[in-house]
Structure 1
Amino acid sequence: MLYDFAVAPFADYGFMRRALVACLALGLGAGPVGVLLVLRRMSLVGDALSHAVLPGAAVGFLVAGFSLPAMGLGGFVAGLAVAGLAGLAARATALKEDASFAGFYLISLSLGVLIVSLRGSNIDLLHVLFGTILAVDRSAILLIGAISSVTVLTIALFYRPLVAQSVDPGFLRAVGVRDGVFHFLFLLLVVLNLVAGFQTLGTLMAVGLMMLPASAAQLWAKRLPAMMAIAVGVAVVSGWLGLVVSFHFGLASGPTILLFAGAIYCLSLVFAPSGALARLRPRRRHRTA
């Protein structure tokens, strides 16, 4: 019974296996990046960048249809352009970086929807906005796997400066390190993982598998490596549960995956060591002799 429900769909159908591998690869890359986003208090910036890839993905779609390389390249260029413009606006004006990101993300979202609607149908627009995880093919898995590998390798190589730049960028400047280089490197990783995610979850939900597991992980662990491991685990479990439930009950796979990630996050808010119940428990007072 349990095998038929939880394992048989992946054993019997190739598209389910490919979707599960895509979720695994996405979780491996997006989980650690999401933890660093939460650590930097840049969660809304991640959401803004997820919408920023839409115009480039839309242009790639118009040129080559649902070609992952074309849409991925377009989304990558658009995401980097918005990140660069937002950073430039924050440095050259009185606007904070989050405000400049918000402005450019709204422009990007509107432009992307307009581009797709000019040449595509409503179904094409839905595919771009919400993704088609059950339609991922070999090329998509290879691209997502390559992005996840680059992400994990980059974080491993530059772990200390990335963490220091997240916690105290002034320290890097004090020791003579240009923190702006690592800030750009981090934004590059965010854009890369959003490009990996939009093919499967769409531009509107790609950031979900990055932020929800990371937010839940922060409630369960205090040390950064443990947070990253938990975030990856939550993302993978959410992908597996979401695919199984959507297969048996005929639901949309992408939203179901994110709803499971959201459910784990909500349970963590209550039951995690840093959750609500732990805060409500009376603390023991130490007696002094």
Structure 2
Amino acid sequence: MIDLLTAPFVEFAFMRRALAGCVALSASAAPVGVFLTLRRMSLMSEAMSHAILPGAAVGFLVAGLSLPAMTLGGLVAGLAVAMLSGAVARSTVLREDASLGAFYLLALAAGVLLISARGSSIDLLHILFGTVLALDDAALMLLGGIATVTLFALALAYRPLVLECVDPLFLRSVSRASAPVHFAFLGLVVLNLVGGFAALGTLLAVGLMLLPAVSARFWAADVTGLIPVAIALALASSTAGLLVSYYGDLPSGPAIVLTAGALYLASMLVGSRGGLLWRLMPARHLEA
């Protein structure tokens, strides 16, 4: 049994590289997903994952399937969409979710059009769904750097981030850190989606960010518990997904995200913090 779990990673370097990339992505994206869910911004990550597509498409048109060019383009496009949607929300009657929805739809359509006009359907599939089994040294360094920056930034901004999740009005009244922390957090979201894009593609990058974070809500009660549980679930999803992909001859990115989805369904059923089965069990009466 142990050989079945370890043999693919022992025998093949590409499996070890894929696992290393997923470990780095899990360590950084899952904590960001926890704060997204606490701030009720889960769907924003889905929008932002599409917003990076036109930048990645421009990088592809300029330099082909070049990771630095596509990463830089995606980062610029994602930050531009985030800042523009925030500016529109603060200067017009539109709320931020509505302006973000408009911008991300435009970005998604523009990105698909650019890639389709100059590339092939294979190139489009590569950008949309990623190639986690083809990570090279540059991609691993990118993912490791993103994880380092993310964890360091979250450690510095941990207290204002938690306070903004609990009582944003109070944070604004006692500190001027609210706006800088908010925009810095949006930057971390974009940065991790760009890293996820390198491994899982734009359409699946958000899966490893949100599904473990949502699943963790069924196992932990506060932020100090949610973050390590989300990271553990992301690591388990990545490892199990790679093994399912290897033995089942399936695409790796979808296998990882579907494994994370299976863990979410299991957590929803048997999670100790509000799982369905625990809710169906009769509550104990108080004893005298």
**What TM-score do you get using the length of structure 2 for normalisation?**
0.97
Per mean C-alpha deviation after superposition, the further-off stretch among 261-270 and 66-75 is: 66-75
Show the counterpart of 1:285.
285
Aligned Cα RMSD in Å?
1.1
Describe the superposition over 1:58-92 as per-residue Cα deviations: whole angstroms up to 9, x where unpaired. Answer: 11111111111111110000000000111111111
What's the secondary structure of 2:61's corresponding residue?
helix
Describe the superposition over 1:113-157 as per-residue Cα deviations: whole angstroms up to 9, x where unpaired. Answer: 001011100000000000000011011000000000110011111
Show the counterpart of 1:276.
276
One-letter amino acid matched to 1:144: L
Aligned identity (percent) is 56
Show the counterpart of 2:171.
172
What's the secondary structure of 1:171's corresponding residue?
helix
Asked if the contact 1:214/1:227 (under 8 Å) is kept, the reply is yes
Show the counterpart of 1:6.
5
Show the counterpart of 2:253.
254
What's the secondary structure of 1:285's corresponding residue?
coil
Asked if the contact 2:160/2:177 (under 8 Å) is kept, the reply is no
Show the counterpart of 1:238.
237
One-letter amino acid matched to 1:215: V
Show the counterpart of 2:34.
35
- C-alpha distance in 2 between matches for 1:211 and 1:280: 26
The aligned runs of 1:41-52 (5 Å cut-off) are: 41-52=40-51
- C-alpha distance in 1 between matches for 2:185 and 2:177: 13
Q: CA deviation at 1:270?
A: 0.7
One-letter amino acid matched to 2:198: Q
Describe the superposition over 1:228-271 as per-residue Cα deviations: whole angstroms up to 9, x where unpaired. Answer: 10111111111111111111111000000001000000001110
Show the counterpart of 2:111.
112
- C-alpha distance in 2 between matches for 1:287 and 1:21: 52
One-letter amino acid matched to 1:275: G
Show the counterpart of 1:84.
83
Show the counterpart of 1:199.
198
- C-alpha distance in 2 between matches for 1:257 and 1:41: 24
- C-alpha distance in 2 between matches for 1:280 and 1:244: 34
Per mean C-alpha deviation after superposition, the further-off stretch among 97-106 and 255-264 is: 97-106
Q: CA deviation at 1:208?
A: 0.3
- C-alpha distance in 1 between matches for 2:64 and 2:94: 38
Asked if the contact 1:165/1:182 (under 8 Å) is kept, the reply is no
Show the counterpart of 1:96.
95
Runs of 4+ more than 3 Å apart: none
Match status 1:139 vs 2:149: no
Per mean C-alpha deviation after superposition, the further-off stretch among 21-30 and 4-13 is: 4-13
Match status 1:153 vs 2:173: no
What's the secondary structure of 1:222's corresponding residue?
coil
Show the counterpart of 2:127.
128
Show the counterpart of 2:185.
186
One-letter amino acid matched to 2:221: K
Gaps of 5+ in 2: none
**Count of residue pairs brought into register by the alignment:** 287
What's the secondary structure of 1:74's corresponding residue?
helix
One-letter amino acid matched to 1:117: S
Per mean C-alpha deviation after superposition, the further-off stretch among 62-71 and 254-263 is: 62-71
Show the counterpart of 2:226.
227
Describe the superposition over 1:180-237 as per-residue Cα deviations: whole angstroms up to 9, x where unpaired. Answer: 1111011000000000000111001100000000000011100212111011111111
One-letter amino acid matched to 1:28: A
The aligned runs of 1:203-218 (5 Å cut-off) are: 203-218=202-217
Q: CA deviation at 1:287?
A: 5.1
Asked if the contact 2:55/2:72 (under 8 Å) is kept, the reply is yes
- C-alpha distance in 2 between matches for 1:284 and 1:72: 55
